[in-house]
Amino acid sequence: MTPRVVVHSGRAKPFYGRHPWVFVGAVQRTEGEAADGAEVDLVSHTGAFIARGLYNGRSKVRVRLYSWQDGEALDDEFLRARLRNAVALRRDLGLMQPDGACRLVNSEGDGLSGLTVDRYCDWLSVQFTGLGLAERRERIAELLAELVPCAGIYLRTEKGIGQLEGLSLSDGPLRGGTPPPLTIVETGMRFMVNLAEGQKTGYYLDQRDNRLAAARLLVGRRVLDAFCYSGGFGLRARQHGAVEVIGIDGSEAALSLARENAALNHLDGLTYVKADVFDELDRRVKNRERFGAVVLDPPKFARAKSGVEEALRGYRRLLSLAVRLVEPGGYVVMCCCSGRVTSEQIEELMAQTAADQRRDIQLIERRGAAGDHPVSVSCPESHYLKCLIARVG
């Protein structure tokens, strides 16, 4: 019999609501031998079936839920169906061209909590944030290779995840060898992606549409692209007719990628500066510099609920500097990829900044990640990326 995890009375509501994370505090007891990574049934305190998931006694997320159908096994057939469904969405979105790139599987957003797969041309990059699916990685690689013929599949690991989940994985090939540096085509522009050594899984695919949306407003402007990584926002803006772009990042490796990308797209007028963004913006404020737009795309500031207050202070500081640097009628593009921080909280910071600096701020667009990063309505935390485009008076 499948082991059962019993939830405390009064704590079952989110799971009936199809939220996939069962934190340890919601668990009353476990019946039967639940091994780490094994299938378990989540049941109410009266013993009624709620959902089927994978157990991990070493994680605060004691069970990750995958099926709300009583008796459905989380076997190969199940995995194949979920993966096929994920690939079908990317086909619908027109994102399966051979030289393109997209997020193929977006964890909770695709009903596969703990699994992220990106496709760069004919290579796949796979990342696990949960032990259950990580233990099934060989099968998942096989199923992926069946669904999306590819040259190879490379495993990337995120720092810190090993400890949170009791996972011991390291970067390396799951299928094929080590991927060479690749050049992807994204809406008509070319970008270098180093899948084995780049940040995250190699490139920030989630900002694809936001870069375009911002670029449309930045024609003829001088743009400060803060936290630029491989240059996405600034390069797109320059291609659309921004007159000058200054990219700032703390990583030399990121900046050299950005320079290569500029050359690859035959774009000039871009300067890259290695600096801490906070210091660099501060220095430019003191110099009384002004720009037509400032893009802020910082890394995740809040990893857990406890980090939200500090993260908000960081976002507030960035906004305050950016607004000072923007000329009247210019734009601030504020991105936030902390799942724990809401769009409303960022908007509240904008309101405070407007009051502090006595400037009008108009919200032009409230955006999220591109469509290949679907958000599960049952798991609001999967709406991690916010991109607010604001006009400063």
* Residues catalogued as catalytic: 337
Nearest C-alpha neighbor of 66 from the set 57, 152, 75, 185: 75
Q: How far is the CB of 300 from ligand SAH (least distance, A)?
A: 9
201 binds ligand SAH, rule: CB under 6 A: no
Residue burial 338-362, b: 16+ Cβ < 10 Å; e: rest: bbbbebebbbebbeebbeeeeeebe
What mask, x for binding ligand SAH by CB under 6 A, covers residues 226 to 255? -xxxx-xx---------------xxx--x-
Q: How far is the CB of 211 from ligand SAH (least distance, A)?
A: 6
- Please, which residue, 107 or 207, has the CB nearer to ligand SAH? 207
Q: How far is the CB of 248 from ligand SAH (least distance, A)?
A: 6
- Please, which residue, 17 or 299, has the CB nearer to ligand SAH? 299
Q: Site for ligand SAH (CB under 6 A): how many residues? A: 18
Position of tokens 């919601």?
26
| Phi, psi dihedral angles at 69 (to 5 degrees) | -105, 120
Q: Cα(191)–Cα(349) distance, rounded to whole angstroms?
A: 33
Interacting residues with ligand SAH between 283 and 302 (CB under 6 A): 297, 299
Note the Cα 92 to chain centre separation in Å. 21
Q: How far is the CB of 366 from ligand SAH (least distance, A)?
A: 18
Q: How far is the CB of 41 from ligand SAH (least distance, A)?
A: 40
Q: Cα(322)–Cα(225) distance, rounded to whole angstroms?
A: 11
Which is it for strands 222-226 and 291-296: parallel, antiparallel or unpaired?
parallel
Interacting residues with ligand SAH between 129 and 148 (CB under 6 A): none
Which tokens sit at 57?
Answer: 């006694």
By CB under 6 A, name the one of 76, 146, 197, 276 that touches ligand SAH. Answer: 276
- Please, which residue, 60 or 283, has the CB nearer to ligand SAH? 283
State the residue number with the nearest CB to ligand SAH: 232
| Phi, psi dihedral angles at 188 (to 5 degrees) | 80, -5
223 binds ligand SAH, rule: CB under 6 A: no
Indicate the burial class of 110 (C-beta count within 10 angstroms; 0-12, 13-18, 19 or more).
buried
- Please, which residue, 134 or 277, has the CB nearer to ligand SAH? 277
Within a 13 Å sphere around the CA of 355, how many CA atoms are in the beta-carbon half? 7
Cα distances from 195 to residues 16, 152, 177, 209, in angstroms, run 38, 11, 12, 21
- Please, which residue, 78 or 278, has the CB nearer to ligand SAH? 278
Which tokens sit at 133?
Answer: 């699916």
53 binds ligand SAH, rule: CB under 6 A: no
3-state secondary structure of 122: coil
Contact predicate 291/224, CB 8 Å: yes
Interacting residues with ligand SAH between 254 and 273 (CB under 6 A): 254
> In this chain, which stretch among 59-67, 132-140, 275-283, 363-371 interacts with ligand SAH, using CB under 6 A?
275-283
Angle between helices 277-286 and 308-325 (to 10 degrees): 30
- Please, which residue, 87 or 235, has the CB nearer to ligand SAH? 235
Q: How far is the CB of 236 from ligand SAH (least distance, A)?
A: 9
101 binds ligand SAH, rule: CB under 6 A: no
Q: Which residues bind ligand SAH (CB under 6 A)?
A: 199, 204, 207, 227-230, 232-233, 249-251, 254, 276-278, 297, 299
